[in-house]
Amino acid sequence: MRIIPAIDIINGKCVRLSQGDYITQKIYNENPLEVAKECEANGIRFLHLVDLDGARSKRIVNYKVLNEITSKTNLKVDFGGGLKSNEDIKIAFDNGASQITGGSIAVADPSLFMEWLAIYGTEKIILGADCNNRKIATQGWLNSSELDVIEFIKEYEQKGIHYVISTDISKDGMLQGTSNELYVEILNKTKIKLIASGGVSSITDLKLLKEIGCEGAIVGKAIYEKKITLKELSKLC
């Protein structure tokens, strides 16, 4: 299972939110590159970078942070937030992203999302399936829909998607454990490569996600609040 630390960006700084609420933002580092370098120094190979300014602005904003990390480390970066046009996705890949995650765009403009899948391929495009009470949420989780998360994933699996990041918003940033029942259901009803996100609070959580069959697990607040050390994570890589 891939271990994937998360860096969320607001105003160029490394922050974390609780349950996606921008009011709860807490700055952990003024320089995201320092965080990325520390991850790499501890044997981490992957990074989940989220442009929270971009998610609100509906366009990529913090691409310079992406470029700085990809040009000064060897981390393979999955980038998401604000990718709403062909120009946005080109900027992301031109600035070093290994993969991009599209969530809101997959809801608002499925044809454009499928165009990206056709152009860049299934290894480059990740479906973001973030949900609250099983309903897909969009625009940095500011908006909700009536789309059931399982049906949403199954529909895109039929269209060729291989990778899915699914965050249970109620768990995100709460350090109270992961949404294992949901992940088991997703894996039982699809054959996608599932990357779990939200609620990781301990090494035990990660071991359970691996047992369930997740392809990857994103770890955020647990690192910044020192519930899990990067050295501990490196042993799972």
What's the rounded Cα separation, in Å, for the pair 178 and 226?
Answer: 17
Note if 78 is an active site residue.
no
For residue 225, the one-letter residue type is E
In what helix (H) or strand (E) does residue 27 lie, and over which residues does it extend?
strand 21-29
User: Can you give the pLDDT at residue 142?
Assistant: 54
- pLDDT tens for 145-188 read 779 999 999 999 999 999 999 988 876 666 667 999 999 999 99
According to DSSP, the β-strands at 131-132 and 46-51 are: unpaired
* Nearest residue to 84 via CA among 76, 92, 96: 92
pLDDT at 125 over 90: yes
Q: Is the pTM of this model over 0.85?
A: yes
Which phi and psi angles does 191 have, rounded to 5°? -120, 20
Active site residue 8: yes
pLDDT value of position 85: 97
Q: Is 44 helix (H, G, I), strand (E, B) or coil?
A: coil
Write down all domains in the chain, each with its CATH number in brackets. 2-234 (3.20.20.70)
Tell the residue number behind the tokens 């992203």, with chain if given. Answer: 97
Name the catalytic one among 88, 130, 168, 172. 130
Q: Single out the catalytic residue among 8, 88, 168, 172.
A: 8
Phi-psi region of 140 (alpha: psi -120 to 50; beta: other; left: phi over 0): left
